[in-house]
């Protein structure tokens, strides 16, 4: 694992809370599999925050077009991150199977 004191991806100084978490992760000697699980939990927090922002945009009578565009771009990034983590963790297998079964049922119904 990289040194917790290295610059963050945004090159902004880490807040005390962030630094505490990074230090705890460094001291815990987390295995890569555990790091992936932690990433998924953190992604859930990001998704909740992202949905809260959507609610604010929808509540606004005249939302700013730039805010909507930024939200949409962030939404695509969050979705891509989730798909990547699920692919690596192998947690998407059940959902894909169900989706494929549903698609096959729809196609069969259309043929009748």
56 in the same domain as 37: yes
Same domain, 83 and 44: yes
Structure tokens, 10: 């945004």
**Residue 104 has what pLDDT?**
52
Whether residues 48 and 22 fall in one domain: no
10-residue stretch averages of pLDDT, the chain, 112 residues long: 47 81 86 86 91 90 89 93 87 50 50 47
Q: Which residue from 71, 76, 78, 73 is spatially nearest to 56, judged by alpha carbons?
A: 71
66 and 107, same domain (yes or no): yes
Does residue 4 sit in the same domain as residue 36? no
Range of the domain at 98: 31-111
Name residue, tokens 């100084």. 13
Whats the size of the chain, residue-wise? 112
Q: Structurally, how many domains does the chain consist of?
A: 2
Residues 60 and 41 in one domain: yes
Same domain (yes/no): 99, 66: yes
Please report the pLDDT score of residue 63 as a whole number: 85
Q: What is the pLDDT of residue 79?
A: 92
Q: Within this chain, do residues 1 and 18 fall inside the same structural domain, yes or no?
A: yes
pLDDT at 108: 52
pLDDT at residue 29, rounded to an integer: 84
Judgement on whether residues 56 and 74 belong to the same structural domain of the protein: yes
Q: What DSSP assignment string belongs to 3-22?
A: -TTSPPTT-PPPPHHHHHHH
- Are residues 36 and 15 located together in one domain of the fold? no
């Amino acid at each position: 694992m990289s040194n917790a004191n290295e610059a963050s991806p945004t090159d902004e100084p880490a807040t005390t809370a962030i630094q505490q978490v990074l230090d705890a992760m460094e001291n815990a000697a987390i295995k890569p599999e555990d790091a992936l699980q932690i990433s998924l939990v953190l992604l859930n927090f990001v998704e909740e925050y992202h949905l809260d922002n959507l609610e604010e945009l929808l509540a606004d009578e005249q939302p700013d077009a730039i805010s909507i565009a930024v939200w949409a771009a962030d939404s695509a990034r969050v979705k891509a991150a989730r798909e990547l983590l699920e692919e690596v963790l192998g947690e998407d297998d059940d959902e894909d199977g169900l989706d494929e079964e549903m698609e096959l049922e729809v196609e069969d119904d259309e043929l009748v």
